[in-house]
Structures are given as structure tokens and as C-alpha cells.
Amino acid sequence: MNYPGDFMSTASEYLHRSKAYDVYSIRADFPILAERSNGKPLVYLDNAATSQKPRAVLEAMDWTYRHAYANVHRGVHTLSERATKAYEDARTRVQRFIGAADPREIVFVRGTTEAINLVASSFGRTNIHSGDEILITEMEHHSNIVPWQLLRDQTGAKLRVAPINETGELVMEEFERLLNERTRIVALVHVSNALGTINPVKRIVEMAHAMGAKVLVDGAQAVPHMRVDVQDLGCDFYAFSSHKLYGPSGVGVLYGRYELLDAMPPYQGGGEMIRRVTFERSDYAKPPTRFEAGTPNIVGPVGLAAAINYVEELGLDNIAAHEDDLLRYATEATAELPGMRIIGNAARKASILSFELEGIHPHDIGTIVDHEGVALRAGHHCAMPVMDHFKVPATTRASFGLYNTREEIDAFIASLHKVREVLG
């Protein structure tokens, strides 16, 4: 029997394929893509919300539950050792994936939301005080707004917001103007989920560091689409979720530079995050354990590691090129639709197409295309300030993943024609 750690490499043996990016054989790796929806072939274009799972992920998790499941870091028995090895190997896998210097810089959390809350709460409470400033941008997801508002309300710090322009790009001059020696942290999204905009994170980190501010990057939408190297970016914290990266839901990653994590107090108290507890006091464990109180998602990280193996075998650059092609194709095709307005036209954009069809509510679009088997997201995408900026209540969003095809975009466009037919 393989140990689960070894299974990481055997999982990738499911991926026999030629070097060329063969989207049709890739699709065969995702069982759910064979489903039908309302009697039509499923066209899944809601990847920014969450992406589907390849067999390698499903099987890695199934294998672990069958052969290596026990609580981690506790038992001396063989199963617990196996489970702990799988969990810790997954941490190392994540470390290498994002180019972190040390596996102890990888904290397993529930997802991007928890990662940001952890930093706002733990780093925030110790380093951000009344009169200090927190700088975010107008294109943030609610999960990178609300935790900072909570901190602002607790500390009396000021929350400042760098604006975006009409193409959906950050206005760099304004960002620079708002950044000052009172700024303690800059928290910004790498790729906007509502607009697709890719932010110049490396430049922003340099500017922020020059002012003595730390930088947290919300990488939820970036990690599935492009190669990310946290040391190259130079950021202090980087957050992402497994479920958008073709891995399981319920697990995500907070990367933090070790010396910062080591100086931070616990986020939650409980089992495993301590060295010694008496009723008078507790001594805390070193990171990352200090931030993983209680029984963690034991099998989630194993699935995430299998997902990382999967995307790395395909090649992040190949995935990015494929998705860029889909975005270009879809942008050109939708331009011909009457009343079409694309929201978010940044020069550097990931595979997200947010739009408005004049006179038709996004929820009606979403419902009608669903009858054609097409899954889109309609709503404010948890980025209400972006909706306010563009003066729309909501948008319809198509988001493309590594397994989508040009034929699916044709089906999506045909379904939009249907919307016009039905609603005029």
C-alpha cells in the first residue's frame, strides 16, 4: 500500500497526456462535465464562483478516507502517522506551488475569507491602532472589505479606498496619493472577480514597502489562472481558496512571511495550537500550528495537493494561454450582440467576462440561459462597490476555466440570442 504522501505522485499518474494542451482529453478528467442540464449538455461558465474537480482530486481524497484517515498531529498509531504525513506533505506541496521560502509559512484555513479575517484580526489587533490607516481598493470582494471595517471599528483606524477608472483598472496616481506613512497595511485583490482586472501587485508591493506598509494579496481568482510566486511578488500575506483551483471546498491557504506570523497572536484558541495550558496561562505553538486550532480539514489539503499536481502537469502558462484565447474569442463574439456592455475592460485581464444586456435584468438572463444548459452567475458578485461604481445593480458573468472550449462559448452566445428572442 502506498502512503498518502507517495500517493501525491501516483495521483499524477492519472494524467497521461501529450504535452500539447488537449482540452478535449482534459475534459474527460472531469466527470461532472458529462452531466446534462435541463436536457442540454452542461456548459459550465461559473468557474470564478467555484470550479469542478478532476478525477485525480476525487480519487486522492477517496483514497485517503479509505486508507489513511485519522486525526492529525495526535496519535502515535500508524493511521494517524499516515494522515499527518499526507497533511504535512500537502503543506510542502502548497509551499512549492506558490514559491514560499518555508512550509511553516503555509497556514491551512477554511478559504480566502478566513485567511483575510485571520490577518485582519491577529496582525491587525497588534499592529494597527487609532490614527493608523488601512488601504484597500474599490474593486475588492466583500471578504477583503468587511474584515477591515470590523478592525477599523474596533481600533479607530481609518479605512481608505483607492478608486478604479471606467475600464476597471486601479487609478495608480490616486493609490500613490492615498499611500502614506500612516498606512499600516495595503490589502488588495490580485485578480478582480467582478471585472477580471489583473492588478500590478509587484509594483504595489514595492510602493507600499517603501512607505513601511505591509501588503496582503487576495489571490482567490489569481491562483487558478496564472503562475504565482509570493517571493517574487514580495508580498507579506497571500490568501487563496482550494475550491476555485479545482480542489475541494472547505480548505484554503494563508501564506505569511515567517517572521510576521511568528510575531502574531493566535486567531482562535483551542486544541493543537498550544504548547502548554494551565488555568493561569497558555503558551502558544509556533506557526503554522498556532493558527490551526482544533481538528483541521484533514483530507481537504490532500485534495488541494492533488489539484496542484493536476494544474502543474498541464502547466499554468498553458492554462493561462488557453483561457486568454477563450476570453478574446468570447469578447469578440459578444461585441456583436445588440445592447451589450462589457463591465471591465482592463488591458491586463483574466478570463472573466462581466456584462450587461441593455434592458434585461441579469437574473432573467441567468435563468433563461440555464434552460439552455449554460451556467452563468448573475448578481453583485460580492463586490457591491464595483456595481455602484458602474451604476448597475448586478451584472451577468461568464468565467472560463481550463476545461472550457470555444464550442461552449458558441453555445453561450446562442443562449444570449435566445434571451433576446424571449425578452425582446
Which residues are the active-site residues?
Answer: 382
Query: Rounded to the nearest whole angstrom, what is the least distance from the CB of residue 160 to ligand 7TS in the complex?
Result: 19
Query: Rounded to the nearest whole angstrom, what is the least distance from the CB of residue 386 to ligand 7TS in the complex?
Result: 11
Q: Report CA torsion sign: 101, 105, 110, 111.
A: negative
Instruction: Tell me, by CB under 6 A, how many residues bind ligand 7TS.
Output: 16
The neighbouring-strand residues paired with 408 are: none
Half-sphere exposure of 264 (CA within 13 A, CB side): 28
Query: Rounded to the nearest whole angstrom, what is the least distance from the CB of residue 152 to ligand 7TS in the complex?
Result: 19
SS3 assignment, position 170: strand
Neighbours of 296 (CB within 10 A): 20
And the C-alpha cell for 23?
Answer: 482540452
DSSP calls for 203-264: HHHHHHHHTT-EEEEE-TTTTTTS---HHHHT-SEEEEESTTTTS-SS-EEEEE-HHHHHTS
Contacting range for ligand 7TS; rule: CB under 6 A; set: 73-81, 215-223, 226-234, 368-376: 215-223
Site mask, ligand 7TS, residues 239-278, x = CB under 6 A?
Answer: --x-------------------------------------
Task: Give first-to-last CA distance, the chain, whole Å.
Answer: 62
48, 118, 314, 369: which one binds ligand 7TS (CB under 6 A): 48
Beta strand pairing call for 282-284 and 274-277: antiparallel
47, 64, 112, 395: which one binds ligand 7TS (CB under 6 A): 112
Q: Is 113 in the site for ligand 7TS (CB under 6 A)?
A: yes
Closest CA to 153 of 178, 124, 188, 180: 124
Which of 197/334 has CB closer to ligand 7TS?
197
Query: Rounded to the nearest whole angstrom, what is the least distance from the CB of residue 220 to ligand 7TS in the complex?
Result: 4
Q: Is 189 in the site for ligand 7TS (CB under 6 A)?
A: yes
Beta strand pairing call for 43-44 and 374-375: parallel
111, 196, 248, 385: which one binds ligand 7TS (CB under 6 A): 111
* Cα 284-287-289 angle, rounded to 5 deg: 70
Which of 41/250 has CB closer to ligand 7TS?
250
15, 49, 70, 260: which one binds ligand 7TS (CB under 6 A): 49
What are the backbone angles phi and psi of residue 19, rounded to the nearest 5°? -65, -30
Contacting range for ligand 7TS; rule: CB under 6 A; set: 56-64, 202-210, 216-224, 304-312: 216-224
The one-letter amino acid code at 404 reads: N
Distance CA 252, CA 222 (A): 14
Are 344 and 383 contacting, i.e. CB atoms less than 8 angstroms apart? no
Which of 28/382 has CB closer to ligand 7TS?
382
Are 355 and 396 contacting, i.e. CB atoms less than 8 angstroms apart? yes
DSSP calls for 175-220: HHHH--TTEEEEEEESB-TTT-BBP-HHHHHHHHHHTT-EEEEE-T
Q: Is 226 in the site for ligand 7TS (CB under 6 A)?
A: no
218, 292, 356, 372: which one binds ligand 7TS (CB under 6 A): 218
Closest CA to 30 of 8, 58, 50, 9: 58
Are 37 and 373 contacting, i.e. CB atoms less than 8 angstroms apart? yes
Closest CA to 140 of 112, 166, 98, 118: 112
193, 197, 297, 395: which one binds ligand 7TS (CB under 6 A): 193
Distance CA 82, CA 6 (A): 10
220, 245, 305, 319: which one binds ligand 7TS (CB under 6 A): 220
Which of 8/387 has CB closer to ligand 7TS?
387
Which of 248/288 has CB closer to ligand 7TS?
248
Contacting range for ligand 7TS; rule: CB under 6 A; set: 111-119, 121-129, 157-165, 258-266: 111-119
Query: Rounded to the nearest whole angstrom, what is the least distance from the CB of residue 15 to ligand 7TS in the complex?
Result: 25
Query: Rounded to the nearest whole angstrom, what is the least distance from the CB of residue 380 to ligand 7TS in the complex?
Result: 10
Residues 357-386 binding ligand 7TS (CB under 6 A) are 377, 381-382
Contacting range for ligand 7TS; rule: CB under 6 A; set: 160-168, 213-221, 367-375, 411-419: 213-221
Site mask, ligand 7TS, residues 142-181, x = CB under 6 A?
Answer: -x--------------------------------------
Q: Which residue is nearest to ligand 7TS (CB)?
A: 193
- Interacting residue ranges for ligand 7TS, rule: CB under 6 A: 48-49, 111-113, 141, 143, 189, 193, 218, 220-221, 241, 377, 381-382
